[in-house]
């Protein structure tokens, strides 16, 4: 359904269909780019989702997972010798020159000492270890927990070494900890980071990975998908360098982060000068129409979900388009180097729904990515598409990336997977639902190949759950955890401290509930409450007794510092979290923390009882949370 939001109300418009020629233009060549930084364990779905629509319309598509290729390159002799080793002498020279005019700081002295030790023999040693680590994560030795732990440790060791020659930047594994030493939430600092040849590793990534691909493929349009705000550094670097070297190519950005910044981007001409357009909300139809307009030399006016530059400035389309799920083809992964992902068994993402069926959690802004609310494909379509992907890509492992899998659809899916003897292993994300409290559905879940569930636990205190509008109870949570655990499914509970109004005692109710049910909870992911700008709490701060502090200089900020009238302050919530980190049940401390790796282990060994993944077996150290927070 396409809806134009004009002064006269809602006007439904027909979507564009057919081939490139039917759209009035020529067949176009499009390069789709997934930028760093993201863990390279499976393809991200945005590129294959756009690719299937573009190819169906007759356009050529090159899918370029630069993030994957970057990490493959990092852990190679080519990068370590050609880039890292060559950067050592000039860095040492700069430090020596600095020492003649002043005393080096402790950090500079430590850096100098580390660089002196970065010899050819050390690089050769790291190269051998890095290549061995890649072989482990891509082969059968992956399922030896000690070897896998060694490989992950090696990746950290190599990225720490890479960081030395890009100091003060930190290049990290896991990638989400990478820090260029610039503030991602200030546009002027993003612009400065682009030109900083010392810390900006993405300039080298562009030069050695993306630029040669552009020269070889000669695309008409390049689209870059930004999922995490952290990816702005790499994306804006790529955009700037593409426009510098290939000014004729139309460059567009899109993705979740772009949608969240839709109110900011039109007012940032210096940032927007790096690219030509930005797709917000859902991108299939909008991007297809953009590609065809560029090919035909038409104006971009009227294309839905689009912000773009023209001769008069930055324009934002008033038209919004929400996709008809039944009309979308299955994702197309052709062209992605699936064998290079850092897993021994292929995992493919699949999305059956758009939006969240619940959509009421007061802390959540996931609905900001959509304009038309929750929609789903029909169960028969879902089953056929899973079958197609399994056959075409020789894949048995699936990550269903829905915001939260709807209970009615979960019930239908598990039954149909059993009836069709699909023989897959799968993982997804769930709410705790009373409607899934019967044994039958969990029997089907086990038989259908469900191995790993990510639950939005949030809190173990019922007053706080009501404040959040979670509409569940501790009884329902415990029942769900037990049914899933008895079915051999790994339960991962995600929660946080410091929701507005939550007291210290209530925060530790969450801890005690998890401790009381530790045999049913296999792993956890905890943090503190963030006041994201598009959440119901941020939009209605008075209702929650919250005062946001909005710094105008932090123009790209997606969350705010805040104070509360009642309950834990930001700082108090952090202290609760730190106490929880020190005292939690040690059975939740895993050697292998990457979700796709845990999923593969459960699928491989056929059980959720995997003490080899734990640092210390729970029977040795059962933890002691009972007195915490008392």
- How far apart CA 171 and CA 132 sit, in angstroms, is 20
| pLDDT at 176 > cutoff 90 | no
HEC string of 50-72 equals HHHHHHHCCCEEEEEEHHHHHHH
pLDDT at 619: 53
Least confident of 174-178, 477-481, 540-544, 598-602: 174-178
630 band by pLDDT with thresholds 50, 70 and 90: very low
pLDDT at 20: 56
Residue 101 CB neighbour total at 10 angstroms: 6
**Mean pLDDT for the chain overall:** 93
pLDDT at 621: 45
- How far apart CA 83 and CA 202 sit, in angstroms, is 12
Domain with CATH 3.80.30.20 in the chain: 345-613
pLDDT at 614: 85
| pLDDT at 629 > cutoff 70 | no
**Minimal CA–CA distance to 54: which of 63, 67, 66, 45?**
63
pLDDT at 608: 81
| pLDDT at 463 > cutoff 70 | yes
| pLDDT at 51 > cutoff 70 | yes
pLDDT at 366: 81
Integer CA distances (angstroms), 618 to 41, 348, 589, in order: 28, 32, 10
Give me the mean pLDDT over the 5-9 stretch.
31
Give me the mean pLDDT over the 153-169 stretch.
97
Is the backbone peptide bond immediately before 483 cis, with ω within 30 degrees of 0?
no
pLDDT at 609: 83
| pLDDT at 183 > cutoff 60 | yes
Tens digits of per-residue pLDDT, 313-341?
999 999 999 999 999 999 999 999 999 99
HEC string of 107-124 equals HHHHHHHHHHCCCHHHHH
| pLDDT at 387 > cutoff 60 | yes
Q: How far apart are the first and last CA of the chain?
A: 54
Q: What are phi and psi of 303, to 5 degrees?
A: -75, 130
Residue 158 CB neighbour total at 10 angstroms: 23
- How far apart CA 293 and CA 133 sit, in angstroms, is 46
pLDDT at 618: 54
Task: Calculate what percentage of the chain has a pLDDT beyond 70.
Answer: 94
| pLDDT at 542 > cutoff 90 | yes
pLDDT at 2: 38
- Beta-carbon contacts of residue 585 (< 8 Å; ≥ 6 apart): 514, 515, 518, 618, 622, 623, 625
Integer CA distances (angstroms), 541 to 67, 503, 537, 566, in order: 38, 18, 5, 13
Tens digits of per-residue pLDDT, 193-249?
999 999 999 999 999 999 999 999 999 999 999 999 999 999 999 999 999 999 999
| pLDDT at 520 > cutoff 60 | yes
pLDDT at 19: 60
Least confident of 130-134, 175-179, 400-404, 467-471: 175-179
Tens digits of per-residue pLDDT, 572-604?
999 999 999 999 999 999 988 899 999 999 999
CATH of domain 345-613: 3.80.30.20
pLDDT at 610: 87
Give me the mean pLDDT over the 536-555 stretch.
96
pLDDT at 3: 37
**Minimal CA–CA distance to 415: which of 434, 390, 440?**
440
| pLDDT at 622 > cutoff 70 | no
Least confident of 86-95, 361-370, 587-596: 361-370
Integer CA distances (angstroms), 252 to 52, 204, 236, 283, in order: 18, 21, 11, 11
Q: Beta strands 353-354 and 375-376: pairing type?
A: antiparallel
| pLDDT at 5 > cutoff 50 | no
| pLDDT at 372 > cutoff 70 | yes
- How far apart CA 369 and CA 451 sit, in angstroms, is 28
Give me the mean pLDDT over the 16-31 stretch.
71
HEC string of 448-491 equals HCEEEEEEEEECCCHHHHHHHCCCCCHHHHHHHHHHHHHCCCEE
């Amino acid at each position: 359904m396409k809806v134009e939001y004009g002064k006269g109300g809602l006007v439904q418009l027909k979507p564009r269909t057919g081939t490139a020629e039917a759209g009035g233009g020529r067949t176009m060549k499009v390069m789709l780019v997934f930028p760093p930084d993201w863990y390279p364990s499976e393809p991200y779905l945005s590129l294959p989702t756009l690719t299937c629509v573009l190819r169906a319309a007759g356009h050529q598509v090159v899918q370029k997972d630069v993030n994957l290729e970057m990490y493959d390159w990092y852990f190679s002799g080519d990068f370590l010798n050609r880039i890292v080793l060559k950067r050592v002498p000039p860095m040492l020279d700069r430090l020596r020159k600095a020492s003649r005019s002043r005393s080096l700081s402790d950090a500079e002295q430590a850096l100098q000492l580390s660089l002196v030790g970065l010899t050819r023999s050390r690089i050769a040693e790291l190269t051998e270890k890095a290549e061995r680590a890649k072989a482990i994560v891509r082969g059968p030795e992956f399922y030896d927990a000690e070897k896998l732990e060694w490989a992950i440790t090696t990746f950290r060791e190599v990225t720490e070494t890479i960081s030395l020659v890009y100091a003060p930047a930190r290049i990290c594994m896991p990638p989400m900890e990478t820090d260029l030493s610039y503030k991602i939430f200030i546009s002027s600092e993003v612009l400065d980071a682009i030109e900083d040849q010392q810390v900006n590793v993405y300039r080298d990534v562009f030069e050695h990975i993306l630029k040669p691909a552009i020269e070889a493929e000669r695309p008409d349009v390049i689209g870059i998908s930004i999922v995490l705000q952290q990816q702005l550094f790499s994306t804006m670097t790529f955009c700037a360098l593409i426009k510098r070297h290939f000014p004729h190519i139309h460059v567009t950005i899109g993705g979740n982060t772009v949608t969240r910044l839709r109110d900011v981007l039109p007012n940032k001409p210096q940032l927007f000068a790096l690219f030509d357009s930005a797709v917000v909300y859902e991108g299939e139809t909008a991007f297809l129409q953009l590609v065809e307009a560029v090919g035909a030399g038409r104006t971009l006016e009227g294309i839905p979900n689009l912000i773009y530059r023209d001769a008069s400035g930055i324009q934002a389309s008033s038209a919004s388009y929400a996709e008809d799920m039944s009309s979308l083809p299955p994702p197309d992964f052709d062209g992605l180097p699936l064998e290079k992902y850092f897993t021994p068994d292929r995992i493919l993402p699949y999305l059956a729904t758009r939006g969240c069926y619940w959509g009421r959690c007061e802390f959540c802004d996931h609905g900001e990515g959509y304009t038309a609310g929750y929609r789903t494909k029909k169960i028969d379509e879902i089953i056929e598409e899973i079958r197609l992907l399994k056959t075409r890509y020789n894949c048995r492992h699936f990550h269903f990336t829905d915001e939260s899998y709807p209970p009615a659809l979960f019930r239908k899916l598990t039954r149909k997977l059993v009836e069709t003897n699909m023989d897959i292993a799968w993982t997804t994300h769930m709410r705790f639902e009373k409607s899934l409290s019967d044994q039958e559905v969990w029997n089907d879940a086990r038989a259908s190949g469900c191995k790993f569930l990510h639950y939005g636990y949030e809190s173990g205190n019922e007053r706080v759950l009501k404040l959040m509008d979670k509409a569940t109870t501790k009884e329902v949570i415990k029942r769900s955890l037990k049914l899933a655990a008895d079915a051999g499914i790994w339960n991962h509970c995600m929660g946080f401290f410091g929701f507005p109004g939550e007291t210290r005692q209530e925060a530790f109710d969450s801890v005690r509930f998890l401790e009381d049910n530790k045999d049913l909870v296999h792993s956890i992911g905890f943090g503190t409450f963030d006041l994201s700008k598009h959440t119901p709490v941020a939009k209605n701060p008075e209702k929650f007794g919250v005062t946001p502090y909005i710094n105008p200089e932090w123009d790209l900020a997606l969350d705010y510092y805040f104070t509360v009238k009642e309950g834990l302050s930001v700082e108090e919530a952090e202290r609760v979290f730190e106490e929880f980190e020190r005292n939690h049940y040690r059975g939740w401390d895993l050697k292998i923390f990457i979700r796709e790796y845990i999923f593969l282990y459960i699928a491989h060994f056929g059980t959720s009882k995997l003490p080899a993944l734990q640092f210390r077996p729970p029977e040795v150290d059962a933890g002691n949370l009972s007195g915490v927070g008392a």
